[in-house]
Amino acid sequence: MDMELLSTCSRCHSSYADQTPKVLSCTHIFCLVCITNAQHGRNITCPDCKAITPLTKEGINALRTDHTATKLAVQLKKQKEVEAAFLCPSHQSQSKKVELFCSSLECMKPVCLLCSMTLHKSHTLHEIGTAFGSNRDSVLDQVETGKALLSGIDKKAEEMKNQ
């Protein structure tokens, strides 16, 4: 199953990293906002299967919170942040990965292919793997830091899956 589906509300698509996931008696899970919108007096009608979940006097807050969904959403959010570090700053929304390094003195930064054909057309470009030069150790340290972060995220996700 897609981890993204497990970590977001199926009604409003909010991440459970930002919204509290609550479990109805039918075992469907929705964010607190959507469950509040589905409340009718002392009952909640499940937006998916229309089953009725009666509320106790404590109300919606007494419904069980799905902490696993919250943890998963937080880990996916961190993973996306790490992955974003390898995307072109000018084209992150298009998910363009950096593949080249502009070694022109005014730039000295990684760029995607689109940037290489437009903003860096007249600059000196190298394949990212061969462009380290004097910055090799610094770049390798950053890569190792990124790998360590991804490894930690993978371990956390595996732990959550085994709970």
Structure confidence by residue, pLDDT tens digits, 133-143: 556 666 667 66
129 close to 34: Cβ distance less than 8 angstroms: no
Cα separation, 101 vs 126, in Å, equals 5
* Average pLDDT of the chain to the nearest whole number: 84
For the cut 60, the answer to whether the pLDDT of residue 3 exceeds it is yes
Q: For residue 60, give every residue at least 6 positions away whose Cβ sits within 8 Å of its Cβ, in sequence order, or none.
A: 22, 32, 35, 36, 39, 44
Amino acid at 131: A
With b for 16 or more beta-carbon neighbours within 10 A and e for fewer, the 88-127 pattern comes to: beebeeeebebbbbbeeeebeebbbeebbeeebeebebee
* Among candidate residues 90, 81, 83, the one with its CA nearest the CA of residue 109: 90
For the cut 60, the answer to whether the pLDDT of residue 99 exceeds it is yes
Any idea which residue has 């437009």 for tokens? 118
pLDDT of residue 139: 63
pLDDT of residue 133: 59
Q: Cβ–Cβ contacts within 10 Å for residue 22, how many?
A: 25
Tens of pLDDT, residues 6-58: 889 999 999 998 999 999 999 999 999 999 999 999 999 999 999 999 999 99
Judged on CB neighbours under 10 Å (0-12, 13-18, 19+), 147 is: exposed
What's the whole-number mean pLDDT along residues 92-106? 81
What is the reported pTM? 0.57
pLDDT of residue 104: 82
